[in-house]
Amino acid sequence: MENKLSLNTNLKAIRKSEKRKGYKIPWTLHLMVLPAVLFVFVFSYLPMSGIIMAFQDYKANLGITGSPWVGLKHFRYMFENDYFVKIIWNTVLFACSKVVLNLIIPFTFALLLNEVRNMGFKRSIQTLVYLPHFLSWVILSGILIDLLSQTGIVNQFLMSVFGLDKPIFFLGDGTWFRLTIIFSDVWKEFGFNTIIFLAALAGINPALYEAAEVDGAGRFKQTLHITIPSLVPMLIVVATLALGNVLNANFDQVFNLYSPMIYQQGDIIDTFVYREGLLSGQFSFATAVSLFKSVISLTLIVISYRLAFKVAGYRIF
């Protein structure tokens, strides 16, 4: 008993000394991080002083210091506005659909790609599917507008092969626009998201497959009882961390594809803030909406990291 107590005491002393050394020795690493910290402080924290506008009736000629205070007026108007409920629904619909599909499809694709034995073919396929991730939505939106227009190649193909009477208005009809937004985002990102699961697959102990093969298990049984259970912890981590993006529906994508005729079905919080703030000059109201989104997103991020730690033992600090 005394030996165990002394051993525990020694271990605690060693850990404390390692922690002290860890904070004293790598000062060069902290110096390397300093430019990034300054960049974040200047461009992310200093602008937060503009949050004050959400509680003011901001006038550009008076500035923040001279504009009159109105308290929670803009927040009350926000929740009383029926259109705000619609953009909340659009945002959650887009974001949740993308999160779910960007989990299921990369997970399934990683399992299928893992079964390919020709390494050259496997790497070629992997490169092709994650290449769209590196293209901006400005470029992809132009391509999609040409492809999905009423005279585009997609409608010509559907009309010639399936005999449609008239072309589908992909970017002008609310229902088709929602489907286009969701599936074009999945097409762009699923290849890059697959890398996470391929990395997890590379960490599976090969001895498990060898033992299963000796026991007579085929590839399907090995996938079912070894590969999938080994990927589930990573799937849980990715899913829980994705909770923080429930109110992020990708401004770049929606802004470059939508039009006034489908505002009711395609408008999201970020595009609404852009129009109200920069185009209409309603700076205080736009700031209130953006602050509401930021508070909800921060809450969801904290919850998701706590869930990731409790369920899968994932933590950053």
Size of the chain, expressed as the number of residues it contains: 317
Quick check: is 248 in a domain? Answer: yes
Same domain (yes/no): 114, 258: yes
The total of structural domains in the chain comes to 2
Return d(Cα 82, Cα 23) in angstroms, integer. Answer: 53
Same domain (yes/no): 174, 35: no
- Contact yes or no for 308/315 (Cβ under 8 A): yes
* Single pTM value for the model: 0.81
pLDDT averaged over the chain? Answer: 85
Q: Is 220 helix (H, G, I), strand (E, B) or coil?
A: helix
Quick check: is 225 in a domain? Answer: yes
% of the chain at pLDDT higher than 70: 90
Return d(Cα 131, Cα 253) in angstroms, integer. Answer: 17
Q: Please name the helix (run of DSSP H) or strand (run of DSSP E) that holds residue 58, with its range, or none.
A: none
Quick check: is 67 in a domain? Answer: no
Same domain (yes/no): 42, 186: no
Same domain (yes/no): 8, 96: no
Return d(Cα 195, Cα 188) in angstroms, integer. Answer: 14
Same domain (yes/no): 43, 133: no
Domain hosting residue 188, numbered range: 79-312
Quick check: is 195 in a domain? Answer: yes
Q: Which amino acid is at 258?
A: Y
Q: Among 207, 214, 208, 211, which residue's Cα sits nearest to residue 229?
A: 208
Same domain (yes/no): 35, 83: no
pLDDT at residue number 5: 46
% of the chain at pLDDT higher than 90: 30
Q: Which two tokens stand for residue 139?
A: 């470029």
In the block, residue with structure tokens 């009159």: 68
Same domain (yes/no): 12, 123: no
Same domain (yes/no): 132, 207: yes
Residues 6 or more apart whose CB falls under 8 angstroms from that of 175 comprise: 265
pLDDT in tens, 66-105: 889 998 999 999 888 889 889 999 999 999 999 999 999 9
Q: Which two tokens stand for residue 184?
A: 């074009």
Query: What does each C-alpha distance from 12 to 60, 193, 311 come to in angstroms?
Result: 59, 40, 27
Quick check: is 263 in a domain? Answer: yes
Same domain (yes/no): 29, 119: no
Same domain (yes/no): 46, 87: no
pLDDT at residue number 106: 92
Same domain (yes/no): 114, 35: no
Same domain (yes/no): 23, 104: no
Q: Is 72 helix (H, G, I), strand (E, B) or coil?
A: coil
- Contact yes or no for 114/198 (Cβ under 8 A): yes
Phi, psi torsion values for 56, nearest 5 degrees? -125, 165
pLDDT in tens, 124-175: 888 889 889 999 999 999 999 999 988 889 999 888 888 888 888 998 888 8
Quick check: is 317 in a domain? Answer: no
pLDDT in tens, 118-138: 888 888 888 889 889 999 999
pLDDT of 12 higher than 80: no
Quick check: is 57 in a domain? Answer: no
Tell me, what CATH number does 213's domain have? 1.10.3720.10
Quick check: is 68 in a domain? Answer: no
